[in-house]
Structure 1
């Protein structure tokens, strides 16, 4: 699978007791926070970690060669309805804010193109309720920081000569770092664990409902497994055409597993820590 096609992945490392994952979580900080908090309870004794470099970080952790150079630089898009990355810029003591489509694109485009971008980006005076990432650029100090609830695909590791003289900080998912630096100029939304838990509980129950299509896929997969086993037992070789019906296997949870998740979510509702 190519990186651009991969919407999420996880690595389960039994030797290190480490769960490394990333996904898009519906571009919702609160939902993602709730998912990570719940995983910490359903995987007790394990390190639950977010793969901020995405697919390449998963590959590297699994022992495969990773290309952290990523894609080539492109211009960040701004002023569009889908822009959900907050960029704040301090210049000569003044703070301006913009919404763009990609934190990774801002980093990869480099410092030389920053002035051109800033003049073209529409400024905002208030931040929408939900943003997925943020980039803070202090031109006076030549320092910058970035946070994300998605992935950066190795952008910080491969910025090369794009930001000579600049110091970059990786804030992972800590949006409060950006909020602190623009305090008084703009309010940066913070995730709401309770809201995220309510959404997570509803989505979890929704995914357990088996509709006719999922049930049919389950029966087809089970029957195919029986045929393959029979062929191998008879010394024959069989092949299955790999289309979507065989690639995406429905997850059938036991009653105990479902109860474990519900208990974890309910426990976080009453005692977040």
Structure 2
């Protein structure tokens, strides 16, 4: 994968500018920690893209910077902000780096950027796309031993909990056919790991709640995939899933100080360029060392 990221800038004039970066999806959240004085000049120094948007299938991260309204709209498919343990502290630190800006996560990926610009969101949809079901995990799957497992928690009624690998599509995309597939899968009883997404199905009420720490194409159209059911997107509010399925979704408590310390190390590695530290993404390489050093000093002061 080329890990493309798309950037949109809305200047005070009210028009919009589009840019993109190969491998821009690598560390986009860590890039944003540098704040607008660093990020915006670097983005706007890239060649502008005219008449083309990357679609749901090829855009893995995106950010829109509305200079008129001071709105930062963004999403990513990897990095600390997509991890259960680090999401809150990452968002908090990005917000501190962008004082006076409103931060919004785009749960519908690049389509949400186009909506903000008054453009047709369907222009980035994949036509004739087939559903790719997430594999069911067994009780001894190695993924369940990871600190940041790629797992989706699916609870059914008040008795069952299934764990799926977070590859392919979010289970909500499958519609009611998901229930037939789960019937032959292992019932884990409850989820005690930190998932990156979840789904609760109440067959009696014919009600579905789903959430994600990432983005799902056509997030606002899931009701059409569950005809006769009510479907609610809870965005990233996993706690509401836990309330719907008492005792079934019980992820580990987040140690905020440890999460912040780990984010700090990731950010220092990302921005320092010191020997032995990987330089992720394009933005660090695009800015002068003096600017990167300023970002490093700010991160060291957390």
User: Normalised by the size of structure 2, how large is the TM-score?
Assistant: 0.66
The Cα of 1:255 is off from its aligned counterpart by: 4.3
Distance 1:183 1:40, change over 3 A: same
The correspondence of residues 180-219 of structure 1 with structure 2, limited to 5 A, is 180-189=243-252, 191-210=254-273
Match of 1:147 in 2: 211
TM superposition shift of 1:197: 1.2
Q: What residue is the counterpart of 1:39 in the other structure?
A: 94
1:42 deviates by 1.2
CA deviation vs aligned residue, 1:104-137 (integer Å, no higher than 9, x gap):
44222212x1332121322113424321011111
Alpha-carbon offset, residue 59 of structure 1: 3.4
Q: Say whether the 8 Å CA contact 2:112–2:121 is kept in structure 1.
A: yes
CA RMSD between the two structures: 3.1
Q: How do residues 246-261 of structure 1 correspond to structure 2 at under 5 angstroms?
A: 249-252=285-288, 253-261=291-299
Where does 1:72-221 land on structure 2 (aligned, <5 Å)?
72-79=130-137, 81=143, 84-90=151-157, 94-102=158-166, 104-111=169-176, 113-155=177-219, 157-159=220-222, 161-189=224-252, 191-210=254-273
Cα shift at 1:13: 0.8
Bigger shift: residues 183-192 or 32-41: 183-192
Residues 83 and 99, structure 1, Cα contact 8 Å, conserved in 2:
no
Larger radius of gyration: 1
How big is the shift at 1:249?
4.4
Where does the alignment leave 5 or more consecutive residues of structure 1 unmatched? 218-243, 267-273
Residue 254 of structure 1: CA displacement? 4.8
**Cα distance, 1:166 vs. partner?**
1.3
- SS in structure 2 opposite 1:184? coil
| Secondary structure class of the residue paired with 2:222 | coil
Higher fraction of helix: 1
Q: Give yes or no for contact 2:190–2:247 (8 Å, CA) kept in 1.
A: no
Note the C-alpha offset of 1:140.
Answer: 1.0
Distance (Å, rounded) in 2 between the aligned partners of 1:77 and 1:62: 36
TM-superposed CA distance for 1:34, in Å, is 1.4
Assess, with a 3 A threshold, how the Cα gap between structure 1 residues 191 and 3 changes in structure 2: closer, same or farther.
farther
- 249-258 or 11-20: which moved more? 249-258
The answer on whether the counterparts of 1:179 and 1:188 sit within 8 Å (CA) in structure 2 is no
**Contact 2:133 / 2:169 at 8 angstroms: preserved in 1?**
no
Secondary structure class of the residue paired with 2:131 = coil
**Distance between the aligned counterparts of 2:275 and 2:150, measured in 1?**
37
The one-character-per-residue Cα deviations of 1:48-69 (angstroms, maximum 9, x if unpaired) are: 1111111222233344432275
**Contact 1:179–1:187 (CA<8 Å) still a contact in 2?**
yes
* Partner residue in 1 for 2:47: none
Residues matched between the structures, number = 230
What do residues 134-170 of structure 1 show as CA deviations (whole Å, max 9, x unaligned)? 1111111111111111111223x22364212211122
Matching of residue 8 in structure 1 with residue 61 in structure 2? yes
